[in-house]
Structure formats: structure tokens, C-alpha cells
Amino acid sequence: MEASTDLSSVLEPSKSKRSGMSASDGSGLSLAEHTHNNRWWILAVVALAQLMVVLDATIVNIALPSAQKALAFSNADRQWIVTGYALSFGSLLLLGGRLADFFGRKRIFLVGLVGFAVASAIGGASTGFAMLVTARVVQGAFGAILAPAALSLLTTTFTNPAERGKAFGVFGAIAGGGAAIGLLLGGFLTQYASWRWSLYVNLVFAVLAVIGAITFLRHDDAVDKPKLDLPGVITASLSMFSLVYGFSHAETAGWSNSLTVGFLVAGVVLLVAFVLVERQVSHPLLPLRVVIDRMRGGSYITVFLAAVGMFGVFLFLTYYMQSTLGYSPVKTGVAFLPMVALLVVTASVATTVLLPRIGPKPLVVGGMAVAAVGLLLLTRIGLHSSYTTVILPALVVMGLGLGATFAPSINVATANVDPADAGVASAMVNTSQQIGGSIGTSLLNTLAATTLGGYLAHRVATKIVVAEAGIHSYVTAFRWSALIFAVGALAALLLLKWGKVATSSEGHGAML
């Protein structure tokens, strides 16, 4: 059943490189020593690159109305600016993670950075819809290369438990709060510069990250796997594409639409085929040992569910503040800042202070439950709700919950993984978050739209009635998001083990 392609003709590492972290970097220091000495700079570089990728999920959304007006494309075309990015990003993540394992993390990291920046520049200079959507698809493809390489660099750089906690606290804060920062930055750039700067700004991030990567990273070709699992690449990519497209299509055409159903069914069938392929080939794209580990698999599920529910905050609360309360894009972004600040602080405390003492289970279960409470608090919104008494308390609670969920989950999802699998294990974190976000957007949008239509069905659509219908649709989305987080808390309770998790330096998969 195996059908693999030899990569040795594409890239053959030299013997000195194959010696890996024990080799010298030319300064007399081994690669391990060089990496350790520059580990905090490496964290800064990785965090900057990850922030660029996460920001792009929301920063362009804020700029879309202005871009649509400038380039004169239709409402039907508008969704493809977002969907095109999600399709290529979500479907190519596992391949991107494996490429980092094959070709070296620094090399793939740089390729992803440069490609993402070039695609962003082309998108910012777009003269029409076709040019912009093409740039977004290319952006997503290079993002799929960059994101897992960034996380795998973090995974292999930080093995000391205390330092690993700090590093993943930063990374988890970016994963959870980056979308809100994107709303703020997108609002400022759109309102005070141009929608084009929501794409051009990536050049600033990329240039700084490239300089940092060239300065502080060293090539790591210790892992030499000469074959690429083509059947796995094809089935995984088509499966992810079908699932993301199916959920995106449901957002506009409904769940009963034949195209929606067809793509979702195809996605599930291809996913089953992918698992069967991975059980047979000798060099699998995703070694099943990565996901069948109880702690790691449970962490992937919690990241997935958190991403599904989190969009209930960013998407519908943004709609509510702008459409109902009349907030500007900038004011909307500023309104999210307390949540982001608490998320960052909580993520840091959770991973540096609490995780080494009590393990991930209490943190993730508690974080999910607290996030569910925060969403329930948002169901109190009305036509003239006060920010300080209604919205702010909910955002504060959400910040605490998300901070306690994301950082520990990502830490555990990449802990104790074999260095040869670091890239693909990291890709699974990004895949869980990306697919979860796509499902969250389409599922919650569909539920909200159904509620909106049902409310207006037997009422005269006056301005007040339409506004009230909008409130009901948002409340429905918040309730379902709260339920998703509650399910996430239950999943974490059942799947994660009690106790502290040993890092790779202490043993693989050990519970203390």
C-alpha cells in the first residue's frame, strides 16, 4: 500500500548537518549550546511570526467592507477573501508540519515567512478581486508552512519545565488573544490609513522575524527522513479542504444544501481513508503515535472545541458592538483589550506557576468552565447595554478562561513528542484551531441566522424589531458557544490525566 516519494534527490543533508544538535555552528559552540544561549530571542522571533499568522484571521475581516468598496466586488465574492485563506491554510497544515521535519525548521520557517510577506504585499497592491483572492490563497499556503515550523521551533528549543512554561504562556496568549488584537489593529489601520495596510503590515512583522531568524536560529538537519507519504498528503489535504469548504458553504447556502452535504461527507470519508493510509505506510505524514497518546489527543480536542466556541465572542460581539451599539472599528478593538490583557496574564501564570504544580487537567477543565460562564454573561445584552456593566465583566471572565485553556493545552499537545515528529505534532495544534474556527464560524452563523429569520417571520420589520431580532441571534450564538465550552470541559475531564506532565528532558509521556 505504500507509495512514497524519495526526497533525497531534492535535498540531501550533509553528514555534518545530520549530526544535528551536537554539531558546531562555526563559533565553537554546539548547536544545542547556541540554541540554549539564544532561546529567549528565539521565543521573540517565533512569537512575532505566530502573531502575524493569527492576526491575519481577523485583521482582514475589519478591512473587508473598505476593500469591497475600493475594488467593487460583490457580496457573494466577499466571503472568498476569508474562505480562500482558510481553505489553503487548513488543508495544507499537516504537510507544512512534515516539511519542517524533513527539511529543517529554520529553512521552512524562513520560506514560510518570506512567502507570506510576498503574498501579503501582492494582496495589498491588488487592483481587482481575482488578484486579492489569489494573494489570500497563497498567503494561507505559506501560513500553513510557517505556523507549524514556528511552534516546532518552540517545542524543540524549550525543554526545561519552568522555561517551557514561560515560553508556552507567551505562545498560548498569542493563540487565544491574537484574533482580538487583529480586530484592534485592523480597525486602526482601516480607519486611519487604508484597508491595504491590513496586508502591508505583515511586511513589518516578516522583516523583523526574518532578521531575527537569520541571527538566532541555526539549521537543524538531525532528522533525516528521505520519503514523503504522498497518499497521506493527498487524502489529508483533500479531507481538510472538503471539511473547511463544506462548513464555509453551509454558512451561506445552509446545511441541507447538496453541495454542503457532499463536501462534508467527502471530508469524513477522506479522513477515514487518511487514517487507513497512515496505518500502512512506513513514513506516515501523521504518525498515529502522535495523536493516540491520551494527553496529547485530549489537548488537540480541547484546542479544537475552544476555537469553535471562541468565535462566538469575536464574531458576534463585534457585530453587536458595531451594528447595535454603533461602535467604530477602533472602539470595538479597544473594547476587547481588557480580555486580551487578562488572557496574557492568565496564560503566563497558568503555565509558569500552576501547570508545574497541579498539572494540566484542573487548568483546562476549569478554564473551559470559566469561559462558558463568560459567554453566559454575554446573554444579558440588550439594545442599549452598558459596556462597563454588561460587556466588560463577560470579557474579563472570558480572558481568565481562555488564558487557562489555550496555553496549557498547547504545552501538553507538544510535550514529550519525538523530535522527528515535532513539526507534525505542532501542525496538529494549528489544524485543530483552524478547523475549529471554520466550524465555529459556519455553525454559529447558521444558528444565529435561523434565529433571526424565525424572530422576524411573524413581525413587522421595523427598525426596532430588526434590532431586537439581531439581539436574539447574538444571544443564541453566545448560548451555543457556552455549551461548546461546557462540552470541552467535560472532554478535558474525561480525557486528560491527573498529575503533572514530565517534559522530554524527564522522560517521554511520564506522569509525575
Q: Are 242 and 178 contained in the same domain?
A: no
pLDDT tens profile 468-484: 898 999 999 999 999 99
Domain boundary among 284, 300, 316: 284
- How high is the pLDDT of residue 187? 81
Local structure of 30: helix, strand or coil: strand
Q: Are 97 and 245 contained in the same domain?
A: no
> How far is residue 62's CA from residue 265's CA, in Å, rounded to a whole number?
32
pLDDT at 226 over 80: no
pLDDT at 10 over 50: no
Mean pLDDT of 48-68: 81
- How high is the pLDDT of residue 33? 64
Task: Give the count of domains, the chain.
Answer: 2
Q: Report which of 112, 186, 107 is spatially closest to residue 145, judged by C-alpha positions.
A: 112
Q: Are 190 and 64 in contact (CB under 8 A)?
A: no
pLDDT at 29 over 80: no
pLDDT tens profile 121-130: 999 999 999 9
Q: Are 410 and 303 in contact (CB under 8 A)?
A: yes
Q: Report which of 406, 363, 361 is spatially closest to residue 168, judged by C-alpha positions.
A: 406
Q: Report which of 143, 94, 101 is spatially closest to residue 227, judged by C-alpha positions.
A: 101
Mean pLDDT of 90-94: 82
What does residue 131 show for φ and ψ, rounded to 5 degrees? -65, -40
pLDDT at 190 over 50: yes
Q: Are 124 and 32 contained in the same domain?
A: yes
Look at the alpha carbons of 11, 14, 15, 21 in this order and tell me if their dihedral is positive or negative.
Answer: negative
In a domain, 382, yes or no: yes
- How high is the pLDDT of residue 396? 95
Q: Are 381 and 456 contained in the same domain?
A: yes
pLDDT at 488 over 90: yes
- How high is the pLDDT of residue 368? 95
pLDDT tens profile 291-349: 878 888 889 999 999 988 887 677 788 888 888 898 887 888 888 889 888 988 898 88
pLDDT tens profile 441-477: 778 888 888 888 888 888 887 888 888 898 999 999 9
Range name among 12-16, 115-119, 176-180, 427-431 with the lowest pLDDT average:
12-16
Q: Are 270 and 290 contained in the same domain?
A: no
Q: Are 94 and 107 contained in the same domain?
A: yes
- How high is the pLDDT of residue 429? 82
| Cross-strand partners of 406 | none
Mean pLDDT of 343-368: 88
Q: Go through 485-504 and write b for each residue having 16 or more CB atoms within 10 A of its CB, e for each that does not.
A: bbbbbebbeebbeeebbbbb
Local structure of 421: helix, strand or coil: helix
Q: Are 485 and 343 contained in the same domain?
A: yes
Pull the grid cell for residue 245: 469548504
Please classify residue 122 by burial: count the beta carbons closer than 10 Å to its beta carbon, then call 0-12 exposed, 13-18 middle and 19+ buried: middle
Q: Are 398 and 348 contained in the same domain?
A: yes
Q: How much is the mean pLDDT over the chain?
A: 81
Mean pLDDT of 409-416: 82
Q: Are 271 and 289 contained in the same domain?
A: no
- How high is the pLDDT of residue 22? 43
Domain boundary among 266, 284, 302: 284
- How high is the pLDDT of residue 398? 93
Alpha helix locations (H) across 328-418?
Answer: 329-335, 337-349, 355-358, 360-378, 392-413
In a domain, 8, yes or no: no
Vertex 145: Cα angle to 42 and 247 (nearest 5):
125
Q: Go through 57-80 and write b for each residue having 16 or more CB atoms within 10 A of its CB, e for each that does not.
A: bbbbbbbbebbbeebebeeeebeb
Q: Where does the pLDDT of residue 18 fall: very low under 50, low under 70, confident under 90, or very high at 90 and above?
A: very low
Q: Where does the pLDDT of residue 219 fall: very low under 50, low under 70, confident under 90, or very high at 90 and above?
A: low
Q: Report which of 123, 141, 131 is spatially closest to residue 86, judged by C-alpha positions.
A: 141
CA distances from 394 to 53, 258, 374, 389, 405 (A): 27, 39, 5, 9, 16
> How far is residue 150's CA from residue 97's CA, in Å, rounded to a whole number?
10
Q: Are 171 and 407 in contact (CB under 8 A)?
A: yes
In the chain, the percentage of residues whose pLDDT exceeds 90 is 27
pLDDT at 364 over 90: yes
How many residues are there in the chain?
512
Q: Are 242 and 222 contained in the same domain?
A: no
**CATH number of the domain enclosing 429:** 1.20.1250.20
Pull the grid cell for residue 140: 494561507
pLDDT at 350 over 60: yes
Instruction: Find the largest Cα–Cα distance for the chain.
Output: 79
CA distances from 292 to 27, 194, 235, 383, 436 (A): 41, 47, 19, 47, 19
Q: Where does the pLDDT of residue 221 fall: very low under 50, low under 70, confident under 90, or very high at 90 and above?
A: low
In a domain, 61, yes or no: yes
pLDDT at 258 over 80: yes
DSSP letters for 166-226: HHHHHHHHHHHHHHHHHHHHHHHHHHHT-TTHHHHHHHHHHHHHHHHHHHH----------
In a domain, 349, yes or no: yes
Q: What is the Cα 306 distance to its own chain's centre? A: 11
Q: Which domain holds residue 260?
A: 229-284
Q: Are 197 and 189 in contact (CB under 8 A)?
A: yes
Please classify residue 341 by burial: count the beta carbons closer than 10 Å to its beta carbon, then call 0-12 exposed, 13-18 middle and 19+ buried: middle
Q: What is the Cα 150 distance to its own chain's centre? A: 12
Q: Are 241 and 322 contained in the same domain?
A: no
Range name among 4-13, 232-241, 254-263, 465-474 with the lowest pLDDT average:
4-13
Local structure of 7: helix, strand or coil: coil
Q: Are 174 and 150 contained in the same domain?
A: yes
In a domain, 511, yes or no: no
Pull the grid cell for residue 486: 461546557
